[in-house]
């Protein structure tokens, strides 16, 4: 019974998110109310908020899943640098491939976020929280100032990778092609982070 209950809850969550994304894509994030989403998804407003605590989370759910601090804490092997742990994590991510349905959903979400200043601000706030959490994890080993600088460079690099990936997808690149480009970009980004900008430039 527990498994069935969990599946039903997940189906409800997915239905609410899909309905919200469709309405946002059709009319814009600001023009759609939570009441309209709940009605269209055939759930009570209280039920909607049980799954998604804010209107923004209807679009940004999962956007904070790249827990950089968590990757370092749980994924860093003995003798491995934190950058090596992060590289392995994003190398594995780049190796995955989106299905056609997932690709369509990603493109719609990106478009909805780009069209809404409120969503862009919320997305930036999530990135800032991730950066701060990474800095806290690194502070014991490197000191607070160095940790903050390292975390800022990592976060900026990953944001650039994300933007380039979405731009390729939005420009019509297939999931396979975009994934291959992302894999190459991941290696370049972490080479730069590990070896430094000037050393990389001197080698070219």
List the domain boundaries for the chain: 2-58, 62-202
Q: What is the pLDDT of residue 31?
A: 95
Distance, in Å, from the CA atom of 59 to the CA atom of 57, rounded to the nearest integer, reads 5
Could you read off the pLDDT of 58-95 as tens digits, one per residue? 998 865 556 889 888 888 888 889 999 999 999 998 88
Could you read off the pLDDT of 109-140 as tens digits, one per residue? 999 999 999 999 999 998 999 999 999 999 99
Tell me which fold the domain 2-58 belongs to. Arc Repressor Mutant, subunit A (1.10.10)
Q: What mean pLDDT value characterizes the chain? A: 88
What mean pLDDT is predicted for residues 195-202? 61
Check whether 15 has a pLDDT greater than 60: yes
- The share of the chain scoring above pLDDT 90, in percent, equals 60
Check whether 202 has a pLDDT greater than 60: no
Q: What is the DSSP letter of 115?
A: T
Instruction: Return the ∠ at Cα 16 (arms to 14 and 4), rounded to 5°.
Output: 50
Distance, in Å, from the CA atom of 124 to the CA atom of 33, rounded to the nearest integer, reads 22
CA dist 65 → 32, 34, 40, 126, 201 (Å): 26, 24, 27, 10, 33
Question: Within 13 A of 198's CA, how many CA atoms are on the CB side?
Answer: 0
Distance, in Å, from the CA atom of 25 to the CA atom of 117, rounded to the nearest integer, reads 15
């Amino acid at each position: 019974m527990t498994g069935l209950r969990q599946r039903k809850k997940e189906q409800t969550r997915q239905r609410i998110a899909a309905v919200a994304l469709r309405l946002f894509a059709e009319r814009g994030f600001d023009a759609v109310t939570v009441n309209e989403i709940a009605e269209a998804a055939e759930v009570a407003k209280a039920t909607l908020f049980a799954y998604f605590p804010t209107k923004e989370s209807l679009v940004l759910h999962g956007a904070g899943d790249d827990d950089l601090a968590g990757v370092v804490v749980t994924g860093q092997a003995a003798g491995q640098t934190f950058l090596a742990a992060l590289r392995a994590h994003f190398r594995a991510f780049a190796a995955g491939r989106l299905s056609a349905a997932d690709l369509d959903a990603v493109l719609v979400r990106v478009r909805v976020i780009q069209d809404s200043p409120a969503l862009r601000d919320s997305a930036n706030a999530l990135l800032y929280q991730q950066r701060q959490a990474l800095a806290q994890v690194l502070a014991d080993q490197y000191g607070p100032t160095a940790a903050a600088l390292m975390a800022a460079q990592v976060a900026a690099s990953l944001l650039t990778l994300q933007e380039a990936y979405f731009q390729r997808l939005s420009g019509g690149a297939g999931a396979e092609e975009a994934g291959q480009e992302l894999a190459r970009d991941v290696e370049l980004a972490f080479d730069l982070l590990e070896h430094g900008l000037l050393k990389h430039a001197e080698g070219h």
